[in-house]
Amino acid sequence: QGNSGSRRGVGQRPRVGFYGNGCRNVESIVASVVRKHVQSNPANAPGILRMHFHDCFVRGCDGSVLLAGNNTERTAGPNRSLRGFEAIEEAKTRLEAECPGMVSCADILTLAAREAVVLTGGQGWRVPLGRLDGRISQASDVILPGPNDAVDKQKRDFAAKTLNTLDLVTLVGGHTIGTAGCGLVRGRFFNFNGTGQPDPSINPSFVPLVQARCPQTGDASARVDLDEGSAGSFDTSFLSKVRSSRVVLQSDLVLWNDTETRAIIERFLGLRRPPLRFGTEFGNSMVKMSLIEVKTGSDGEIRRVCSAIN
């Protein structure tokens, strides 16, 4: 019993197995296309994971981040460094050949994000499917948590999207892969708040490393690992780096100062009971994030290409 786009009723939630026989190979097709793109450029894995987050936090998980053109979300500051659009578009092309008009770009991006985690050594999870694609994408809607946000602000931003503090710490744990632009981080490593000194809350032994990677007058678009030495592996190493203050984003560093977020990190690292398993929690929180404000009724469509509305 397969499903087609026309059977997405108003108010129906995405569910595991949604496409059924209607598009049997949807998961394996997305997996193989993403694998190919990550093999040719490993930066696509973190790029795609972050893209899914940026999609879900702006107008819900509706593929709005994928639309190209003047003043679309893609043109907004935080999205200019997104990577992996070609992988999503190629998966869409393959799926249009296999099961035309059935699989939304929002679903493809959701599946691709899981694949990015699995390809970097993370644990997989079952992905509910059946999202529709949105028709609106505006740069002015792109209001996302920022790299200098305090913990309370991060908690509030996530709570506004139905995500609790465990989800926050877990999902930010996604910074276990990928990189940040030097232009965004180096200020705190050379001249913190006009002091002429690095941010004193950064581990002093970590400072020269980032200074070398991101020279003060060097290329602002050079990139530095979010999880130094483990930026290609989906593991708990990033959370240990938060514990030892060896991370480049201030928003990550401060997660150790708040008693609640610190306790969660300690549980992930086995330093506090009851322990939490990062692999399991990451899948759980990703499923929650992937269900933010999804479109399933007349408010969406199945795009023919992911970069443009029909």
Residues with catalytic roles = 54
Contact segment (CB under 6 A) with ligand HEM among 127-135, 174-182, 262-270, 301-309 equals: 174-182
Query: Who contacts 159 (Cβ-Cβ below 8 Å, separation ≥6)?
Result: none
- Binding-site residues for Ca(2+) sit at 55, 58, 60, 62, 64, 73, 176, 227, 235
Distance CA 207, CA 199 (A): 9
Q: Does 60 bind ligand HEM (CB under 6 A)?
A: no
- The DSSP secondary structure of 51-104, one letter per residue, reads HHHHHHTTTSSSSGGG--STTSGGGSGGGTT---HHHHHHHHHHHHHHSTTTS-
Q: Does 79 bind ligand HEM (CB under 6 A)?
A: no
CA triple 152-201-272, angle to 5 deg: 65
Residue 179 interacts, among Ca ion, ligand HEM, none and using kind-specific CB cut-offs from 5 to 8 Å, with: ligand HEM
What count of other Cβ atoms lies within 10 Å of the Cβ of residue 200? Answer: 10
Q: Does 187 bind ligand HEM (CB under 6 A)?
A: no
The SS3 of residue 264 is: helix
Residue 8 interacts, among ligand HEM, Ca ion, none and using kind-specific CB cut-offs from 5 to 8 Å, with: none
Q: Does 62 bind Ca ion (CB under 5 A)?
A: yes
> Would you tell me which residues interact with ligand HEM (CB under 6 A)?
43, 46-47, 49-50, 53, 81, 83, 145-147, 149, 154, 171-172, 174-175, 177-181, 184, 226, 249, 251
> Would you tell me which residues interact with Ca ion (CB under 5 A)?
55, 58-59, 62, 64, 176, 227, 230, 233, 235, 237
